[in-house]
Amino acid sequence: MHIRDNDLQKALTVQIVYSKNAKQQAKLLLVQDGADYVELGGIACHYKPDTIYVLLSPASSKDRFELYHPEGKLFEAFCTWCNETLIPEITYVCQQKGIELTERGLLGDSLGGLVNVYIAKKHPAQWSHLLLQSAAFSERELAITPAPHWHVYQLIGRKEDAFVSPRTGEQKWFYHWNCQVASSWHVHTNLTFIETDDEHLWTFWEQTLPDVLEFFEERRERV
C-alpha cells in the first residue's frame, strides 16, 4: 500500500495480510503497532482466512508519538488518511475481487488503542468494532460519545495506574481513566469491559489477545 503523504510515508509502514482463498464476504481489522502485535503479541497464530489484517507500524518511538498521540504533529493527518485513503482503497480492491467487507475493526494497545478511538470518531459509520487493550485514556476522552452501533471491547489491568511514561516521567493512571471512560460510554454503545490484575506490559496483551480477537470474529446483529 503506497502512502502518498511524504511525512506519513517516512513515519509508517503498512502490511496487508489476507488469504488467497478469501470468501465473498470478509472482515477487515486495522492493527496499530502491527509489527509488535506480530513479534510480541503472536497475532499471526490467530489469523483467520475470512479476515483481512492491515498492520500499521510506526518507524520509531518518536514517530509513534507523532502519529498516535493527540498532540502529535502527524496525528490529524494520520487519522484522516486511515479513513479517507487507506480504507477506501482497500475497499475498492476488495470490490474488484468480488469481496464484500462486512465488518471493519480497530485493534490497538496503549497509544494505539487511543488513536483508534479518534480514527473511529472521525467516521463513526465506517467502523463496527473497537478492540482496546489498555488504551492510553485521559480526562480528554470523557468528552467523546461513542457511536451506538459500535461493539467495543475494553481491556485494562488494575495495576496499570503504576505505569510511568518513559518519555515524560509522568504517572499515567491508565486504570483510573479506563474505568471513567467505561462508565461514561456504557450507556451509549455496546461495551464489554474487562479488568484484571495485570500491569501495562506486552505479556498481558499477548495473553488476552485470543479473547479480544474472538470478540471481533463473533457474529453480531447490527444495532
Dist CA 28 CA 85 (whole Å): 15
Chain segment 48-71, per-residue pLDDT in tens: 999 999 999 999 999 999 999 999
List per-residue pLDDT tens for the chain, 223 residues long: 555 667 788 899 999 998 877 778 999 999 999 999 999 999 999 999 999 999 999 999 999 999 999 999 999 999 999 999 999 999 998 999 899 999 999 999 999 999 999 999 999 999 999 999 999 999 999 999 999 999 999 999 999 999 888 888 889 899 999 999 999 999 999 999 999 999 999 999 999 999 999 999 986 544 4
Burial of 21 (0-12, 13-18, 19+ CB in 10 A): exposed
Kindly list the strands in the beta sheet with 25-32, ordered across the sheet, starting from the edge strand earlier in the chain: 12-17, 51-58, 25-32, 100-109, 129-133, 151-157, 190-196
Superfamily grouping for domain 6-217? Alpha/Beta hydrolase fold, catalytic domain (3.40.50.1820)
C-alpha distances (whole Å) from 82 to each of 46, 49, 121, 123 are 24, 23, 12, 10
Chain segment 166-197, per-residue pLDDT in tens: 888 889 899 999 999 999 999 999 999 999 99
Dist CA 34 CA 48 (whole Å): 16
